[in-house]
Amino acid sequence: MSEKVIDIHDLYKSFGTNHVLRGIDINVHKGENVVVLGRSGTGKSVLIKIIAGLLKPDSGSVNVLGKEVDTLSTVDLRELRLKVGFCFQNGALYDSMTVGENLAFPLKRNTPGISNEQVRKSVNVTLEAVGLLKTIDQMPAELSGGQRKRIGIARTLILRPDIMLYDEPTAGLDPITCTEINNLINEVQRRFHTSSIIITHDLTCAKDVGDKIVVMKEGKFVKQGTFDEVFSTKDELINEFYDYNFIQ
Ligand SMILES: Nc1ncnc2c1ncn2[C@@H]1O[C@H](COP(=O)(O)OP(=O)(O)OP(=O)(O)O)[C@@H](O)[C@H]1O
Ligand SMILES: [Mg+2]
């Protein structure tokens, strides 16, 4: 097995008396797509925010790209964050900037001294990678939901992170657009050699993109394996998911 790019052991995180993560173990190997399934409020977003250094763990070990996250200085943490791309659910685009400017912005901010020509080239290559070069001069408000997701992914991808964290990348999309986003996630993995955690409620997404699936309940992982392994047993927990997805 290849090296681990994320290795988390016995992770705990509470907010006051709300004990959200209660002893999480998870690892992601280089090049792997790991899907995290779990009901609303189980702490999935909190988990990836800790991995991205956006929230601090209470206890446990969080190793990302060989670095123990909570021992890092501010400067080292900042450097690590650049290698960990976080795709927010709504894409977090700046509405007053064009698509091209939305991509150029993080690149210029994080790459001091980069030339305008390099920025232009990188914006073009990255937009082309998500299939939306034609939208370069459009405003975010002019995009469809699926296009916004793609641009959100492109904006994260432009810094060429080693790790991509996707928070519900297909939420609110129709089935065909969902499939396109799933294909894009796999394409990004192949083309940019990223390792990913994908949070989703969508079982089709889990099946299409997940090399490994972990199921989370009440702050713990209760099951993990390939999609077929996890869903081969129709136990109560998995039935909950089928029902849940059906209702959704
Ligand atoms: N910054 C914060 N301060 C206080 N409580 C928080 C904070 N972030 C998350 N929580 C709490 O942690 C719990 C887990 O939240 P989280 O967003 O991780 O859930 P989730 O599994 O991603 O749910 P969903 O599927 O609805 O996105 C919730 O009870 C939430 O209120
Ligand atoms: Mg969430």
Structure tokens at 234: 């129709």
Mean pLDDT of 11-33: 95
Residue in this structure with the two tokens 């939420």, named with its chain if needed: 171
Percent of the chain with pLDDT over 90: 70
> CB count, 10 Å around CB of 38?
22
Distance of CA 133 to the CA centre of its chain: 22
89: pLDDT strictly greater than 90? no
Q: How far is the CA of 40 from the centre of ligand 2 (A)?
A: 7
pLDDT digit string, tens, across residues 201-244? 888 899 999 999 999 988 888 888 999 888 876 666 666 666 55
Write the residue with the smallest CA distance to atom 3 of ligand 1: 15
Q: Write down the pLDDT at residue 248.
A: 42
Work out the mean pLDDT of the chain and round it to a whole number: 90
Residues with CB under 6 Å of ligand 1 are: 15, 18, 20, 38, 40-46
| Ligand 1, atom nearest to 38 Cα | 21
Q: What ligand has the least distance to the C-alpha of 16? A: 1
Tokens of 59: 């206890």
The first and second tokens of residue 70, run together, are: 């909570």
Cα of 83 from ligand 1 centre, angstroms:
24
User: What SS3 state is found at 90?
Assistant: coil
Residue recorded with tokens 């432009």? 158
- Summarize pLDDT for 56-67 with one digit per residue, the tens: 999 999 999 999
Domain boundaries, the chain: 95-160
Which ligand lies nearest the alpha carbon of 49?
Answer: 1
Instruction: Convert the pLDDT of each residue in 151-208 to its tens digit.
Output: 999 999 999 999 999 999 998 888 999 999 999 999 999 999 999 999 998 888 999 9
Query: How would residue 247 be classed by pLDDT, with cut points 50, 70 and 90?
Result: very low
DSSP 140-200: GGGS-HHHHHHHHHHHHHTT--SEEEEESTTTT--HHHHHHHHHHHHHHHHHH--EEEEEE
How far is the centre of ligand 1, averaged over its atoms, from the C-alpha of 10 (Å)? 19
* pTM of this prediction exceeds 0.85: yes
Question: Alpha carbon of 90 to those of 151, 169, 188: distances in Å?
Answer: 10, 9, 19
Distance CA 135, CA 101 (A): 11
